[in-house]
């Protein structure tokens, strides 16, 4: 099995709520230029391109078509990947397979979202609205005890079920979500590519009102305009083109059932159960040769649209021998702690959805290569990092294990 | 079981309508402002020398950001065309009577062809090589609609 | 190609204007049928690659409700948009990596009953400019492309009618096709009304509900699953500029580049001699000569003459779309995957009355975008070689 690495990353200069100065393809071109600049590569060095975003947010179908010139894809093998929230990592995995297959040596993965072009709940409502409307039209009562009231607020409503279940299963309190939120926003203040960068105390978070208990306004992520590009290469090319690399040593993906917490079609599903995460994590660990995740991993970048999710994913990915919220209490999850979680600020601080699941492995890669631009480089040496993404109706999970050395064959 | 209970619902119609608010970017913004002044602006790539219209940021073949603005003539030559007997409106076909005439026009000074509607002639008169001239909306609205359509250049002298 | 991948099974719905059942059931029956025919279950599938389109499906993340019916529950899956041929290439790469032995590719679209394909295409337009002007749409752009080819090479409308008639006749020999006419003549085509000149209704694809599933396997696994695996010898894709006014519409640069790369992988130096049958995605019949010429199957500009001489008929020198192609059925995301499925039927001698004699090497093509802006090519052979 061919070894594959990330040798470079390009971000748009900023990740903000509204890029008023550029259209979508111009925004993407910025991240592509940054990737070329950071790796000293040119379009002729790129063998193929993988491309992804969550298109309903912009109302633009198959955006790789309009974007072909601006992402420098002309005359190149190009493929579009689209899997919802996991798109960023799915697009990176596609680039991984382009190289691992032996067909290509240098592949550029381009992910982005320009959420300001559409109503921010547009894309998410697009999943549940067709089902909900059909039910309403056929006389089904959605409001009586079915909990669809939770659909109000889009995925926040659904996430509140997950948060409540998480707290109940693991014995954590709302205060832990407040703490995790504060930790990540404070991390983001050190990251020039983060969106919400205000240093935020636990009190600041706790003073925000609840949307749906136990989730507060202060626990939710923003919607962001931004793009992320990764350059993915074979082992031979990594040696030729770069002085350091972050090796993609394990990948895993699992699709669970598309039911969101007791809501649709009467399925009883606990959105905090997340077997898909456990399975995807195990696949990635097996491929990477990780036998004990409590000992062999140095840090993680986790997809947390809501602050409780960082703690939930820590549990499901088996990072610790004690509960994640106790590790949080001990300060272990801080940037300078024993197991930094989301030193970038996570999705919780920056959420250009199509890019969000690729920012997790790109941040891990930059941490491993010690090429973080900004103040959020973790001080400890990162030999192994785990990147995670989720999407859909809480049912898709992708996991990537990155390392400072290629996997032993 | 009554007849009512046996009824099977075959289809459900779900109307979904989202509104988007697109940023056009600085290149198209300047182009639109130009139209408001009855000017058609293109961009020239410093690498290949190609002049494109409407203007955009990147020349893909050269991997360059385009920077040179070019004012194009508002006359050009039809290089391709089609006569539409239908219109496509939200994905549905509607008869178009009179037929709509669409052309790809090479404006004097440009290399890229500009799509435009042509009026003021019979469909059988629409041919490659026909010289056409822009017809402007008056008063201008500062929108893409300011370049209303094209008509044969010989018309009206 | 180092790590061999083979097609071991295909399944298609009987494509229809209205498939008459929910999408989930359509997909379940399709894939269950494929599994039952092979004597396998979803436990035997390593990874799933779905191809469908959010705008067509009217929901974000269209694969959310497609996973379970195709057996991907709690398994590895992903989704490609663009077209099913790309999904198949990606699935093949997953097997070539050594991570998986089997990959199921499932593509579908309810372009007949669920949502309007022309509008699905409209959403691909640059929303800041082309969608505002309202001049370009799937039909008007295709018409410009047809005119471009006809002006340059002198192909006449009657010759274009011959291509459409051939496809309708071929479709009559295809049990999956939705639109067909066993004795179709050019006059039948000319009797259909003009949409955007020179395109008439019967030059254009029918709105189709349909799905296709193709199972790929690594060499060893393929031989366990079937006695007649069809080997992927080469595959690639390429993309052109979006800007129609800057493209040469009478040819297809990206088809030519994709084919050159695929042929190189496959060791094909004389495609016109070495390819026995071609299945190309041509939702508008004038695209058949444009694409097949770019694939090196016919001399440049010879579309009219090829049609007159019947060279692309099932019993011709270079049969093209013995399935009836997109004229017979064209479910948006599934189109290119169906071309692979049809090549598989040809190369395994299962094409019935559409069977091309002694076919051992085929080329499948898929496209994406206005006037085939984006193209993919796959070379398949019954010989392991």
CATH code given to domain C5-116+208-225 = 3.40.47.10
- A186 cis-preceded (ω within 30 degrees of 0): no
pLDDT recorded at residue B154? 81
To the nearest whole Å, the CA of A130 is away from the closest chain C CA by: 7
pLDDT recorded at residue A262? 44
User: Quick check: C90 and A102 CB within 8 A?
Assistant: no
To the nearest whole Å, the CA of B17 is away from the closest chain A CA by: 10
Say whether pLDDT at B153 is over 80. yes
B96 contact residues in C (CB cutoff 8 A): none
Q: Determine the 3-state secondary structure of A203 from DSSP.
A: helix
C53 contact residues in B (CB cutoff 8 A): none
Of C53, C90, C240, the CB nearest to A79: C90
Nearest CA in chain C to B148: C133
Place A122 in a pLDDT band, splitting at 50, 70 and 90: low
CATH number of the domain where residue A316 is located: 3.40.47.10
Region A81-101: mean pLDDT is 97
Average pLDDT, chain C: 97
The answer, yes or no, to whether ipTM is higher than 0.90 is yes
Tokens matching residue C315: 């019993």
d(CA C204, CA A132): 35
User: Residues A30, A65: contact at Cβ < 8 Å?
Assistant: no
pLDDT recorded at residue B85? 98
Share of chain B above pLDDT 70, in %: 92
Nearest CA in chain B to A73: B60
A23 contact residues in B (CB cutoff 8 A): 22-25, 28
User: Quick check: B57 and A25 CB within 8 A?
Assistant: yes
- B101 cis-preceded (ω within 30 degrees of 0): no
pLDDT digits (tens, 9 = 90+) for A15-56: 999 999 999 999 999 999 999 999 999 999 999 999 999 998
Say whether pLDDT at C228 is over 90. yes
- Chain A interface disruption, residue of C2, C56, C61, most A CBs within 10 A: C61
Q: What is the DSSP letter of C204?
A: B
Q: Is C195 an 8 Å CB contact of chain B?
A: yes
Q: Determine the 3-state secondary structure of C28 from DSSP.
A: helix
Q: Is A154 an 8 Å CB contact of chain C?
A: no
Cα torsion B134, B139, B140, B141 to 10°: value is -130
Of B9, B23, B61, the CB nearest to A23: B23
**Where in the sequence is the domain holding A55, given as residue range(s)?**
4-118+222-403
Q: Is B9 an 8 Å CB contact of chain A?
A: yes
pLDDT recorded at residue B15? 73
User: Residues C338, C84: contact at Cβ < 8 Å?
Assistant: yes
pLDDT digits (tens, 9 = 90+) for C76-127: 999 999 899 999 999 999 999 999 999 999 999 999 999 899 999 999 999 9
Long-range (24+ apart) CB contacts under 8 A made by C29-35 are C30/C106, C30/C211, C30/C212, C30/C213, C31/C69, C31/C70, C31/C71, C31/C104, C31/C106, C31/C213, C34/C9, C34/C10, C34/C104, C34/C213, C34/C215, C35/C71
Residue from C231, C219, C239, C182 nearest C366 by CA? C239
Residues listed for chain B: 157
To the nearest whole Å, the CA of A325 is away from the closest chain B CA by: 40
pLDDT recorded at residue B1? 45
Residue partners of A85: CB distance under 8 A and separation at least 6: A54, A303, A305, A353, A356, A357, A389, A390, A391, A392, A396
Q: Is residue A150 part of a domain?
A: no
Measure the CA angle with vertex A82, ends A76 and A84; round to 5°.
150
A70 contact residues in B (CB cutoff 8 A): 56-58, 60
User: Residues C376, C365: contact at Cβ < 8 Å?
Assistant: yes
Of C115, C132, C244, the CB nearest to B144: C132
Place B13 in a pLDDT band, splitting at 50, 70 and 90: confident
Q: Is residue A157 part of a domain?
A: no
pLDDT recorded at residue A151? 46
Q: Is residue A348 part of a domain?
A: yes
Q: How many CA atoms lie within 13 A of C120 on its CB side?
A: 24
d(CA A313, CA B145): 52
Say whether pLDDT at B9 is over 90. no
pLDDT digits (tens, 9 = 90+) for A315-353: 999 999 999 999 999 999 999 999 999 999 999 999 999
User: Quick check: A22 and B23 CB within 8 A?
Assistant: yes
To the nearest whole Å, the CA of B67 is away from the closest chain C CA by: 18
pLDDT digits (tens, 9 = 90+) for C266-308: 999 999 999 999 999 999 999 999 999 999 999 999 999 999 9
d(CA A47, CA A73): 10
Place A129 in a pLDDT band, splitting at 50, 70 and 90: low
d(CA A408, CA A291): 14
CA distances from A317 to A177, A334, B3, C225, C294 (A): 18, 18, 54, 36, 50
CA distances from B21 to A354, A363, B24, C200 (A): 19, 31, 9, 36
What is the count of residue pairs from B and C with beta carbons less than 8 Å apart?
A: 98
Q: What's chain A's Rg over C-alpha atoms?
A: 20
Chain A (60-89) residues lying within 8 Å, Cβ to Cβ, of chain C: 60-62, 64-69, 73-84
Say whether pLDDT at B68 is over 60. yes
pLDDT digits (tens, 9 = 90+) for B15-60: 777 778 899 999 999 999 999 999 999 999 999 999 999 999 999 9
User: Quick check: C122 and B114 CB within 8 A?
Assistant: no
- Chain C interface disruption, residue of B34, B82, B114, most C CBs within 10 A: B82
Of B20, B25, B84, the CB nearest to C196: B84
Global pTM reads 0.96
User: Quick check: C58 and B28 CB within 8 A?
Assistant: no
- Residue A351, phi then psi, degrees to nearest 5: -140, 80
Say whether pLDDT at A135 is over 80. no
Say whether pLDDT at C195 is over 80. yes
User: Quick check: C76 and A391 CB within 8 A?
Assistant: no
Chain A (169-188) residues lying within 8 Å, Cβ to Cβ, of chain B: none
pLDDT digits (tens, 9 = 90+) for C318-347: 999 999 999 999 999 999 999 999 999 999
Place A127 in a pLDDT band, splitting at 50, 70 and 90: low
DSSP string, B139-157: S--SSGGGEEEEEETTTT-
Region C196-213: mean pLDDT is 98
Number of neighbouring beta carbons within 10 Å of residue A283:
19
To the nearest whole Å, the CA of B54 is away from the closest chain A CA by: 14
d(CA C124, CA A149): 34
Q: What is the DSSP letter of C199?
A: -
Region A57-70: mean pLDDT is 96
Tokens matching residue C94: 């997953």
Say whether pLDDT at B5 is over 80. no
pLDDT recorded at residue A394? 82
pLDDT recorded at residue B49? 97
Nearest CA in chain A to B57: A26
- Chain C interface disruption, residue of B30, B91, B124, most C CBs within 10 A: B91
Residue from A46, A51, A61, A87 nearest A359 by CA? A87
Say whether pLDDT at C210 is over 50. yes
Structural domains counted in chain A: 1
Nearest CA in chain C to A58: C127
Say whether pLDDT at C237 is over 70. yes
d(CA A210, CA A228): 32
Say whether pLDDT at A150 is over 50. no
Surface-to-core class of residue A84, CB atoms within 10 Å of its CB (0-12 exposed, 13-18 middle, 19+ buried): buried
pLDDT recorded at residue A376? 98
User: Quick check: B22 and C127 CB within 8 A?
Assistant: yes
Q: Which residues pair with C7 in a beta bridge?
A: C216, C230
User: Quick check: A21 and B26 CB within 8 A?
Assistant: yes
Residue from A222, A245, A225, A219 nearest A361 by CA? A245
CA distances from A273 to A145, A257, A269, A277, A298 (A): 22, 11, 8, 9, 25
Region B83-100: mean pLDDT is 94
d(CA A174, CA C131): 47
pLDDT recorded at residue B19? 79
Residue from C249, C263, C279, C244 nearest C85 by CA? C279
Nearest CA in chain B to C243: B112
C61 contact residues in A (CB cutoff 8 A): 54, 82-84, 127, 391-392
Residue from A136, A124, A128 nearest A264 by CA? A128
Chain B (109-148) residues lying within 8 Å, Cβ to Cβ, of chain C: 111-117, 128, 144
DSSP E strands in A170-245: the ranges are 210-212, 215-216, 225-234
pLDDT recorded at residue A16? 96
d(CA A94, CA A86): 12
Residue from C213, C209, C224, C341 nearest C281 by CA? C341
Say whether pLDDT at A311 is over 60. yes
Q: Determine the 3-state secondary structure of A176 from DSSP.
A: helix
Region A110-120: mean pLDDT is 87
User: Quick check: C147 and B111 CB within 8 A?
Assistant: no
Q: Is B144 an 8 Å CB contact of chain A?
A: no
C121 contact residues in A (CB cutoff 8 A): 61
Tokens matching residue C161: 């009618």
Cα torsion C216, A5, A11, A183 to 10°: value is 100
Region A83-107: mean pLDDT is 97
* Helices (H), ranges, B7-133: 25-36
Q: Put the strands of the sheet holding B92-107 in their side by side order.
A: B114-117, B92-107, B75-89, B131-136, B147-152
User: Quick check: B91 and C122 CB within 8 A?
Assistant: yes
Q: Is residue A174 part of a domain?
A: no
B55 contact residues in A (CB cutoff 8 A): none
Residue partners of C263: CB distance under 8 A and separation at least 6: C234, C269, C271, C296, C379
Residue from C253, C73, A117 nearest B23 by CA? A117
Surface-to-core class of residue A139, CB atoms within 10 Å of its CB (0-12 exposed, 13-18 middle, 19+ buried): exposed
Tokens matching residue B9: 């619902």
Place B12 in a pLDDT band, splitting at 50, 70 and 90: confident
User: Quick check: C118 and B91 CB within 8 A?
Assistant: yes
Q: Determine the 3-state secondary structure of C377 from DSSP.
A: strand
Say whether pLDDT at A142 is over 80. no
């Amino acid at each position: 099995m061919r070894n594959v690495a990330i040798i470079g990353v390009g971000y748009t200069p900023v990740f903000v709520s509204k890029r008023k100065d550029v259209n979508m393809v111009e925004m993407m071109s910025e991240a592509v230029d940054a990737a070329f600049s950071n790796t000293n590569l040119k379009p002729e060095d790129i063998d193929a391109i993988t491309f992804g975003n969550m298109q309903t947010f912009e109302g633009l179908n198959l955006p790789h078509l309009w974007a072909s010139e601006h992402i420098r894809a002309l005359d190149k093998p190009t493929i579009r990947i689209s899997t919802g929230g996991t798109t960023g990592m799915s697009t990176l995995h596609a680039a991984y397979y382009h190289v691992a297959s032996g067909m290509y040596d240098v592949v550029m993965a381009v992910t982005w979202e320009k959420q300001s072009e559409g109503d921010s709940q547009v894309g998410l409502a697009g999943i549940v609205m067709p089902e909900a409307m059909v039910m309403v039209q056929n006389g089904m009562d959605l409001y009586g005890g079915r909990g669809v009231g939770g659909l109000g607020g889009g995925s926040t409503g659904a996430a509140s079920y997950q948060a409540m279940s998480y707290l109940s299963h693991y014995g954590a309190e709302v205060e832990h979500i407040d703490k995790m939120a504060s930790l990540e926003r404070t991390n983001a203040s050190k990251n020039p590519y983060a969106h919400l960068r205000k240093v935020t105390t636990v009190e600041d978070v706790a003073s925000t009102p609840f949307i749906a208990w136990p989730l507060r306004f202060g626990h939710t992520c923003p919607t962001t305009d931004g793009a992320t590009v990764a350059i993915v290469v074979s082992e031979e090319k990594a040696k030729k083109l770069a002085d350091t690399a972050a090796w993609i040593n394990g990948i895993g993906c699992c699709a669970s059932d598309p039911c969101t917490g007791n809501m649709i079609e009467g399925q009883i599903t606990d959105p905090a159960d997340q077997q898909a995460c456990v399975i995807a994590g195990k696949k990635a660990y097996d491929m990477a040769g990780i036998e004990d995740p409590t000992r062999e991993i140095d840090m993680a970048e986790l997809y947390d649209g809501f602050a409780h999710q960082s703690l939930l994913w820590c549990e499901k990915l088996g990072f610790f021998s004690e509960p994640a919220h106790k590790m949080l209490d001990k300060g272990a999850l801080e940037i300078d702690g024993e197991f930094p979680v989301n030193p970038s600020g996570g999705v919780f601080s920056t959420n250009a959805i199509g890019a969000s699941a690729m920012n997790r492995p790109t941040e891990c890669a930059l941490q491993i290569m010690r090429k973080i631009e900004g103040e959020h480089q973790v001080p400890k040496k990162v030999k192994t990092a785990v990147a995670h993404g989720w999407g859909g109706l809480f049912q898709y999970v992708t996991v990537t294990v990155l390392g400072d050395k290629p996997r032993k064959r | 079981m009554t007849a009512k209970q046996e009824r099977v619902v075959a289809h459900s119609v779900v109307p979904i309508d989202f509104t988007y608010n697109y940023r056009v970017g600085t290149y198209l913004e300047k182009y639109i402002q130009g139209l408001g002044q009855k000017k058609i602006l293109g961009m020239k790539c410093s690498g290949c020398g190609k002049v494109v219209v409407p203007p955009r940021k990147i020349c893909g073949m050269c991997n360059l950001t385009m920077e040179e603005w070019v004012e194009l003539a508002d006359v050009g030559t039809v290089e391709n065309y089609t006569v539409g007997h239908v219109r496509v409106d939200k994905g549905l076909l509607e008869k178009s009577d009179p037929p709509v005439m669409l052309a790809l026009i090479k404006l004097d000074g440009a290399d890229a062809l500009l799509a435009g509607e042509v009026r003021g002639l019979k469909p059988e008169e629409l041919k490659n090589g026909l010289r056409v001239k822009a017809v402007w909306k008056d008063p201008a609205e500062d929108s893409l609609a300011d370049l209303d359509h094209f008509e044969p250049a010989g018309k009206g002298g | 190609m180092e790590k061999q991948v083979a097609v071991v099974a295909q399944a298609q719905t009987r494509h229809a204007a209205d498939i008459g059942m929910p999408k989930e059931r359509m997909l379940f029956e399709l894939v269950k049928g494929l599994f039952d025919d092979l004597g396998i279950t979803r436990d035997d599938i390593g990874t799933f690659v779905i191809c469908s389109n959010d705008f067509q499906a009217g929901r974000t993340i269209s694969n959310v409700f497609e996973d379970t019916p195709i057996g991907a529950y709690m398994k590895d899956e992903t989704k490609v948009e663009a077209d099913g041929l790309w999904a198949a290439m990606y699935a093949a790469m997953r097997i070539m990596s050594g991570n998986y032995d089997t990959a199921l590719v499932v593509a579908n679209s309810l372009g007949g009953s669920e949502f309007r394909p022309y509008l699905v295409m409209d959403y691909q337009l640059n929303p800041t400019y082309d969608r505002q002007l309202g001049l370009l749409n799937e039909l008007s752009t295709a018409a410009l492309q047809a005119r471009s080819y006809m002006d340059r090479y002198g192909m006449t409308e009657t010759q274009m009618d011959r291509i459409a008639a051939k496809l309708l006749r071929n479709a009559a020999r295809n049990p999956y096709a939705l639109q067909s006419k066993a004795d179709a003549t050019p006059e039948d085509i000319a009797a259909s009304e003009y949409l955007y000149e020179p395109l008439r209704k019967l030059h254009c694809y029918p709105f189709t509900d349909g799905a296709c599933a193709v199972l790929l396997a690594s060499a060893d696994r393929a031989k366990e699953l079937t006695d007649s695996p069809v080997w992927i010898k080469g595959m690639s894709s390429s993309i052109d500029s979006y800007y129609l006014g800057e493209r040469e519409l009478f040819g297809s640069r990206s088809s030519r580049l994709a084919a050159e790369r695929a042929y190189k992988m496959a060791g094909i130096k004389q495609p016109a001699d070495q390819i026995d049958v071609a299945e190309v995605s041509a939702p508008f019949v004038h695209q058949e000569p444009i694409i097949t010429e770019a694939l090196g199957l016919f001399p440049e500009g010879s579309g009219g003459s090829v049609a007159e001489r019947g060279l692309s008929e099932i019993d011709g020198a270079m049969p093209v779309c013995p399935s009836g192609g997109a004229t017979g059925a064209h479910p948006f995301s599934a189109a290119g995957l169906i071309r692979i499925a049809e090549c598989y039927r040809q190369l395994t001698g299962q094409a019935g009355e559409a069977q091309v004699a002694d076919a051992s090497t085929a080329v499948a093509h898929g496209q994406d975008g206005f006037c085939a802006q984006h193209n993919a090519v796959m070379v398949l052979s019954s010989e392991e070689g």
